Structure 1
Amino acid sequence: MNQFTEYFAEVDWGTLMAVWGMRVVSAVLVLLLGLWLARLVTRLASGALTRAHFDTMLVSFLRRILYAAALVIVFVTVLAQLGVQTTSLLAVIGAAGLAIGLALQGSLANIAAGIMLIALRPFRIGDTVEVAGQTGVVEQVLVFHTVIKSFSNHEIILPNAQITSAPIVNFTALGQRRIEVPVGISYDADIRAAREVLVGLAKAHEKVLEDPAPSVMVNGLGDNSVDLTLRAFVETPDWAGTRSDLIEATHRELGKAGIGIPYPQRDVHLRFPDGVKLEDKRKTEASEARANAS
């Protein structure tokens, strides 16, 4: 007790108060100046990103990250002005950041993927896309996830990390989309006549583009038919309706032209063992003929 009394008696309280007063004043000045600089730097960076035509959502997210980092720097500087040893504090902050990063690595992966999607823009709101096995119209692109509305009117929420790690098919990016209508015609039919009918009905449709022009390809000789494919380009919003019209017109116009679309057929050949009577063979052949006729 005497030692503490002697220690406090020897302290120059005037000098101590003056030193701590200067430290507190300088710390307050650093705090005020730091907060002002943090706001200024954040505002300048946000304006630069906006002028560079970055997405508003990405600008807002980066502005918050930059401001939070600036506040950490200001906080550490203020503690240093007060005489606090910040080396150990920085080590603690680094360790805490590492632990948080390991614990939230899945979320951080989604954040990084979200920043890539917003910055690179492989698709935009309103685009029809196929991503991660899901097809629909993009409604929102957020930092953590992307919202897609399916054609069945379902809301699909996809983590951004799944989107960037899978192929992305954007059906509306180029403005035009090709329709393919597969058609099988009879082997007895004239392929040139069928091609003229198909190209003619495509050209007659008001939504089909003249350039590239509609065409018909022969894809192969199937088991029951000659396989053709009608190809025509339309504006992307007209794809579904025009495809339905062309399929209906194909069935109608080929029928008018007398070009048959055959049903699947199968020929069955029966082998009779020795000892079977001829009359039985004839009955079997007659029933087989009736089956083929039907």
Structure 2
Amino acid sequence: MEKITQLFHENNELLLGYLLQLVLAIVIFYIGRMVAKGVSRLMEKALLARAVDKAVVSFVTGIVYAIILIATALMALSQVGVQTTSFIAILGAAGLAVGLALQGSLSNFASGILIILFRPFKSGDFIDAGGIAGTVDKIEIFQTIMKTPDNKLVIVPNAQITSRAITNYSAEATRRVDLTISIGYDADLRLAKKLLEDIVTSDSRVLPTPAPVIKVGALADATVNILVRPWVNSADYWGVYWDTLEKIKLTFDDNGIRMPFPQMGVHIKQDKQEQV
């Protein structure tokens, strides 16, 4: 006991210094943990306000919390005299090895972060992305789940989506229906345009502004092509598209306007040989 007391008296300044460093390290770690929780909560609120999927929010905030906590732990260890350079080197080497092994997954992860941050589409939008056309069901951190019009569930890697052009058909409130109607050169062009105008304007789903466009688009080899371009609400697009085509066919039939179809003429030439 006397030896311990003597040792304490001889090294009291050194022990006091270590004790202060330990207390300071604990304070640094405690404050860092509070900062990590605060940052993760703020990020969670910001992501939820932008209607990001809760699973994605939990994953992202967990990663942010872990990164800040690891940085805080390294700072605390450095304060008590532990050489953190070796720890950082080990973490860097491990991260490099994991990154090389999971290169595809990390690419999908980074693409998922970009989709969450820049919001090119959201759940419920009908998009054409990654070579797949369908309605977005869920946006996850590694993949996006889509449903095709025939109710197939397709899981598309996020890297495949961000590496190609994304067409969002639900981004705007209105869309233009583009139709090309072909009639024969012997048909009454003025009557055809009048009938097309009546068909378009009689549909209550067609918007008055911008006004529908009905113009001759081309004088083709065997047909006169008329462009029909009404504007509709995005939700009415396919209904107007299909119904307008059917009405045009029936109305043209009733008014004797011929809609040519592709034909091929075959001429057979027979050589006559003189009989000897």
1:214 correspondence with 2:212:
yes
Larger Rg: 1
Q: How many residues are treated as equivalent by the alignment?
A: 267
TM-score (norm 2): 0.83
Partner of 1:254: 252
Partner of 2:145: 147
Report SS of the residue matched to 1:80: helix
What root-mean-square deviation, in Å, do the aligned CA atoms of Structure 1 and Structure 2 show?
3.0
Stretches of structure 2 that go unaligned for 5 or more consecutive residues are: none
1:55–1:118 Cα contact (<8 Å) kept? no
1:76 to 74, 77, 99: 74
2:84 to 59, 80, 86: 86
Structure 2 residue identity aligned to 1:256 = D
CA separation of 1:38 and 1:275: change in aligned 2, threshold 3 A: closer
Identical-residue share of aligned pairs (%) = 36
CA separation of 1:56 and 1:237: change in aligned 2, threshold 3 A: closer
Report SS of the residue matched to 1:74: helix
Aligned pairs for 1:17-166 (under 5 A) are 18=15, 25-44=23-42, 46=44, 49=46, 54-57=50-53, 60-166=58-164
Give CA-to-partner distance per residue, 1:26-59, whole Å, 9 cap, x none.
5444443432333234335555x469x5454565
1:224–1:265 Cα contact (<8 Å) kept? no
1:234 correspondence with 2:232:
yes
Q: CA deviation at 1:67?
A: 1.1
Structure 1 residue identity aligned to 2:217 = N
CA separation of 1:202 and 1:78: change in aligned 2, threshold 3 A: same
CA separation of 1:45 and 1:259: change in aligned 2, threshold 3 A: closer
1:181 to 179, 182, 195: 179
2:138–2:146 Cα contact (<8 Å) kept? yes
Report SS of the residue matched to 1:135: strand
Give CA-to-partner distance per residue, 1:42-83, whole Å, 9 cap, x none.
335555x469x5454565444323211121123223333443
Distance in 2 between residues matched to 1:76 and 1:165, nearest whole Å: 37
Distance in 2 between residues matched to 1:11 and 1:161, nearest whole Å: 66
TM-score (norm 1): 0.78
After alignment, is 141-150 or 33-42 more displaced? 33-42
1:181–1:246 Cα contact (<8 Å) kept? no
CA separation of 1:215 and 1:78: change in aligned 2, threshold 3 A: closer
Partner of 2:197: 199
CA separation of 1:99 and 1:190: change in aligned 2, threshold 3 A: same
After alignment, is 159-168 or 260-269 more displaced? 260-269
Q: CA deviation at 1:257?
A: 1.4
Structure 2 residue identity aligned to 1:126 = G
